[in-house]
Structure 1
Amino acid sequence: MRYYPLFTQENLPKTLVIANGAFPKAPTPLALIDRWRSGEAGYSLTCCDGAVNKLRQYTDKLPDAVVGDLDSVSSGLKDLLDGRIHHFLDQDTNDLTKTMKFIHSQGGKRPITLLGASGGREDHLLANLCLLTTYSDLVSDLVMLTDEGYFLLLTEPSEVEILLGQQFSVFNFQQTPISLRGARWPLEHYTLPQLWCGSLNRASASRLSIDTTSPILLYLANV
């Protein structure tokens, strides 16, 4: 059974991906970007296409890689990014998927913190959330930080540290049976009939125990 502690600036994955949604404003995602900007060991940062424009408004430091066609980036910035741009012209996938595949191609599965995937257009957010569970073959762990909380990709039975009373939601896109313990509304080998049915729960213990046979998303709201 996998164990996940409460995530902090200290233990979140150091491979950072910035999607082209709203640029982060909350302290934790900005702190991760600052750690990369300062050159702290182990950190890398990849932008999904136009997200590089938003990063440049925050810092002059260039990302380690940019994945996409960069059709919205000025020629001057493209010149600065020479050697960091990785073109994937496949129109059957979006830039986030192209980025995940690129990172996997550079060294196999690794833990990733995804930033900037919420906010902006709501259809992009919904598409990103639907795609996260499809990345289980590309990442070892995936945490999507937002300004309000975080999504955690779970691919096997797991124990997740949580604060007593903290609000959370479970989203099972494949509608397979799951078990959930340590919650105000527990489940036992139950198939949620619709996607929203696992939302708006609350922790009744300091750990959630979740049994699943397919990739699911667990959302923990900030307290």
Structure 2
Amino acid sequence: MTSDAAPPALDGILLPKRGRRAVVLADGEPPPPRLLAAHLALADLFLCTDAAGRPYAALPRLPDAIVGDLDTLGAGVSEVPPGVTVARDARQDTTDAEKALAFALDDGCREAVLLGAGGGLLDHALHNALLPERWAGRLRLLLADAGTAALRVGAGESCTWDLPRGTTFSLLPLPGGARGVACDGVRYPLRDAAVDGRGPATVSNEVAGGPCG
């Protein structure tokens, strides 16, 4: 979703804090400092993947841990400040972002915000876009950057968000698609629609006023 409202405010509507939360900073396009600071204000755990976050002194707060295979950080591990955990996992069957999410889960977190997941390598960005589905049932996960935020709405779920008028949003089908989709309070309402990538595009719809759901 995109909005003229401040991104942290939009993210707070989409994923209100309900428990122990992790903020994961991935090594893609860095988020604006204001966005990172707003999310860290609600974070119980702050993780950076591999080389993300350097120089650490410029961050709003130091990470609790650096997580990943550390192939990018390399000798830069010597720059990690004292007191910051370095959790190296050399396995290549998961990405650094997934390693960080697993670390957060083991630390007791049940919700997470992933920043810096876009930009960089296209294959990693596309893989990251599917993480809310891959981690469903384990972590409530929000992907966020300077102007957009994304989260998963699962089968049978009903959500209502009080979003600012003019907020643009897209419904992107996961593998298998979705049937019986309904969406009210928007410029182009949906009624018992099939969203499977083969029918009409469901991108750039717009909140028309009042709760959207």
- TM, length-normalised to structure 2: 0.77
Work out whether 1:154 is the aligned partner of 2:157. no
C-alpha contact 1:101 1:138 (8 A) present in aligned 2? no
Work out whether 1:110 is the aligned partner of 2:110. yes
Deviations 1:57-90 (A, max 9, x none): 6239541012112122243634746771223233
The range that moved more, 127-136 or 186-195, is 186-195
Work out whether 1:165 is the aligned partner of 2:172. no
Secondary structure at the aligned position of 1:127 is classed as: helix
5 Å matches for 1:40-119? Answer: 43-53=44-54, 56=56, 58-59=58-59, 62-75=62-75, 77-78=77-78, 80=80, 84-107=85-108, 109-119=109-119
- State the Cα distance separating 1:26 from its structure 2 match: 5.8
Cα–Cα, structure 1 residues 194 and 131, in superposed 2: closer, same or farther, change >3 Å?
A: same
- TM, length-normalised to structure 1: 0.74
Residue type at the aligned position of 2:30? F
**Runs of 4+ with >6 A deviation:** none
Secondary structure at the aligned position of 2:152 is classed as: strand
Question: Partner residue of 1:216?
Answer: none
Q: Distance in 2 between matches of 1:126 and 1:191?
A: 23
Cα–Cα, structure 1 residues 6 and 144, in superposed 2: closer, same or farther, change >3 Å?
A: same
Question: Partner residue of 2:3?
Answer: none
Q: Distance in 2 between matches of 1:20 and 1:49?
A: 7
Cα–Cα, structure 1 residues 122 and 153, in superposed 2: closer, same or farther, change >3 Å?
A: same
Question: Partner residue of 1:221?
Answer: none
- State the Cα distance separating 1:172 from its structure 2 match: 1.8
Question: Partner residue of 1:21?
Answer: 28
Secondary structure at the aligned position of 1:113 is classed as: strand
Cα–Cα, structure 1 residues 200 and 75, in superposed 2: closer, same or farther, change >3 Å?
A: same
Question: Partner residue of 2:142?
Answer: 143
User: Which structure features the higher share of strand residues?
Assistant: 1
The range that moved more, 192-201 or 162-171, is 192-201
Instruction: Structure 2: give runs of 5+ residues left out of the alignment.
Output: 1-8
Question: Partner residue of 2:205?
Answer: 201
